[in-house]
Amino acid sequence: MGAGLALLAGTWPAAAQSGVDNALSAKLQAQISARAQEQKGKTALYAVQLSTGKEIAVDADVPVQTASVIKLGILYEAMVQVRAGKAAWDEPIVLKKGEAVPGSGVLTLLDAPLSLTLKDALTLMVIVSDNTATNLMIDRFGIDNVNARLESLGLKDTHLYKKVFKPAVGPMPADQPKFGLGKTTPREMAMLLTRIGTCGLRRAPPPPPAGPGIGVVVPMFLPMDEGDKAVCDVALKMLKNQFYRETVPRYLETADVTTTGGVAIASKTGSLDAVRNDVAIVAGKTGPMVLSIFTYDNADHSWTVDNEGELIIARLAKEIVTAWSPEGLDGKLLVPGLGLSASGTAATPAAQK
């Protein structure tokens, strides 16, 4: 089973199980592995082209610090609850005095009390990685609910531990001090972002006790309907408007997005002194790609656009995307479902309408 098909079915193949026909060439794998070693620090990544099953991995199953990338887990939980009618984009969220925390974002600079909508808070959490908005969303949805949702996706090494700039509460796993806000692996975070992009929000019924039959792929989620699409459209709009674009988009985007049919990259970054991460959907003309790149133990602790960790992510992204989609990007494919059929292949024009 190719990576694209397996993902849409709700499974994820181990790196050693890549289909021969879809495997990235040994030459490119070697090139990317060598590039990943260039910076003074460590790099782990997983990338997959969903329409072809091509994939590449460098320490893809090594647990890493998420920094703010774990906020994708909160976004996904919100999406599922909105789709189920348990939350609403326009429900009021109130920032009270004393709740603001430092770091990225704008809410820490505004006067409280302040009323927002759920959509407002999630948008700030995603596009400027607002830490105060993140904590409001953690209060709204709950750490346990977010982690249960991640576990239901089969993400065994992806975990949200606590609020931002707040101490951990209650019994914590022994590895929490090492990872801080959250942990993941490049492969698992790629799976989560792909679930957002392909709009998997409603679980499919389980197969009959006798099993589905040999060779039958059992999907984890129901096909996208109009209700799903409406929710996913809101979330993708947030991710497409990501403010921090110095990593994956750096060498891929042009100043004039009309040349690529609109914004063609939807992403979430995460940064700490010794960490730079970016997880992105890149809409290539040959099909959508998911890039999940993490750098850590970095020697460069600077907070400039030329931070070495940011540059290495940008270079890796450029090499992978250029190899898989040499004709460039197509923002028209960056829509709920990513222009894919249930089989993981590019949908027909009629199916994309």
Where are the domains positioned within the chain? 1-62+245-353, 63-184
Q: Which helix (H) or strand (E) holds 130?
A: none
Q: What string of DSSP letters covers 213-276?
A: -TT----SBPPP-HHHHHHHHHHHHHHHT-S--SSTTTTT--S-GGGGTS--EEEEEEEETTEE
Which tokens sit at 260? 């690529």
How far from chain centre, in Å, is Cα 236? 11
Identify the sign of the CA torsion 221, 226, 229, 231: negative
User: What is d(CA 116, CA 101) in angstroms, rounded to the nearest whole number?
Assistant: 17
Distance set, CA 273 to CA 132, 176, 258 (Å): 19, 18, 35
User: What is d(CA 264, CA 328) in angstroms, rounded to the nearest whole number?
Assistant: 10
Give the pLDDT score at 233. 98
Give the pLDDT score at 27. 87
93: which strand partners?
Answer: 116
HSE at residue 157, side-chain half, CA atoms within 13 A, is 16
Give the pLDDT score at 257. 66
Give the max Cα distance, the chain: 61
How many CB atoms lie under 10 A from the CB of residue 28?
16
Q: Would you give per-residue pLDDT tens digits along the chain (353 residues)? A: 445 545 554 443 433 434 444 444 788 999 999 999 999 999 999 999 999 999 999 999 999 999 999 999 999 999 999 999 999 999 999 999 999 999 999 999 999 999 999 999 999 999 999 999 999 999 999 999 999 999 999 999 999 999 999 999 988 999 999 999 999 999 999 999 999 999 999 999 887 776 655 555 667 899 999 999 999 999 999 999 999 999 999 999 976 666 667 899 999 999 999 999 999 999 999 999 999 999 999 999 999 999 999 999 999 999 999 999 999 999 999 999 998 864 445 553 333 43
User: What is d(CA 93, CA 2) in angstroms, rounded to the nearest whole number?
Assistant: 42
Q: Which helix (H) or strand (E) holds 287?
A: strand 287-296
Give the pLDDT score at 212. 57
**Level-2 CATH architecture, domain 63-184:** 3-Layer(aba) Sandwich (3.40)
Give the pLDDT score at 9. 45
> pTM to 2 decimals?
0.91
Distance set, CA 247 to CA 73, 123, 230, 314, 317 (Å): 20, 20, 29, 5, 8
Which tokens sit at 54? 């091509």
Name which of 199, 189, 193, 190 is nearest 220 in CA terms: 199
Give the pLDDT score at 90. 98
Cis peptide bond prior to 186, omega within 30° of 0 = no
Name which of 53, 45, 73 is nearest 6 in CA terms: 53
In our burial notation (b when 16+ CB lie closer than 10 A, e otherwise), range 281-312 reads bbbbebbbbbbbbbbbebebeeeeeebbbbbb
Was domain 1-62+245-353 assigned CATH 2.60.40? no
Give the pLDDT score at 350. 37
Give the angle 147-157-241 at the CA atoms, nearest 5°.
65
Distance set, CA 24 to CA 14, 62, 97, 106, 110 (Å): 14, 20, 52, 42, 48
Question: One fold for both 1-62+245-353 and 63-184?
Answer: no
User: What is d(CA 82, CA 174) in angstroms, rounded to the nearest whole number?
Assistant: 33
